[in-house]
Amino acid sequence: MRAKPPGYWNDFAVLEQELLAFIAEHGNAGVMPTHTMLRSAGHGNLSQAMHQHGGIMAVAQRLGLMYDYRCKPPRYWQDLATIDREVLDFIAAHGEPGVMPKKTALEAAGRGDLANAISRAGGYYAAAQRLGLRPADSRRAHDHWADFANLERELRAFVEEPSRPQRMPTLAELIAAGRFDLHYAVQRNGGVRAVAERLGWRTASAQRSPDLEPGSGSRRCAGVKPQAT
């Protein structure tokens, strides 16, 4: 799609005409196309134009078009590449370039599906690292992992997931699971061995130590029984 002259998209009637023409040619009647669909068809400027008229949901409502991000094919959100693409699309339409959007911003824009997908895939800090984005509140992320109780809670939840080894996870295992946030937090708190010792957990290289047996002052990992001695 060729570039338009300055001010071309300021008139909502122009946006309406271009959008309805796109739907007639590429989309489904009565359904608002996604930003991904528009960019894939070479209509990135049409995608950008909706932002200056309140965003894609506002335009859809104004034109009486159906728009529902929740209707995705099975396993759509299990692919990190899909999540990352949706994040970048959201930033292009609603966010600040180079900044990871907050969960509250996604939910306010009707993107609860994306917000939940990011959380399930390792969290917002992990997504920001993958995409080279600055966390919306980088100081808050730093302070969050400075509290060891937060790291302990997240690690316990991680090892209680089905098929997880009942021990301190390695950095490679955290990366493979997409938990870049925990990878960062473990390193920030002294590394795998230091965190394992603090929790009283065995590591992958210490096979003879009791599984996740709490040390002094540490709670037992819920649902995991220490080996008999």
Task: Give the Å distances, CA to CA, from 174 to 121, 149, 179, 185.
Answer: 12, 18, 5, 11
Around Cβ 35, how many Cβ atoms within 10 Å? 23
E strand residue ranges, the chain:
99-100, 134-135
Helices 192-199 and 148-159 meet at what angle, rounded to 10? 90
Q: Tell me the two tokens of residue 218.
A: 């540490």
Buried-exposed string 170-209: b where 16+ CB fall within 10 A, e elsewhere: beebbeebbbbbbbbbbeebeebeebbebbbbbbeeeeeb
The pTM of this model reads 0.41
- DSSP code at position 31: B
Distance CA 105, CA 109 (A): 6
pLDDT one digit per residue (tens) for the chain, 229 residues: 566 788 889 999 999 999 999 988 886 778 888 877 888 788 888 888 887 888 787 888 888 887 765 556 668 888 899 999 999 988 888 888 888 998 888 877 778 788 888 888 878 878 888 888 887 765 556 677 788 998 999 899 889 888 888 899 998 888 777 677 788 789 889 999 999 999 999 998 865 444 444 444 344 333 333 343 3
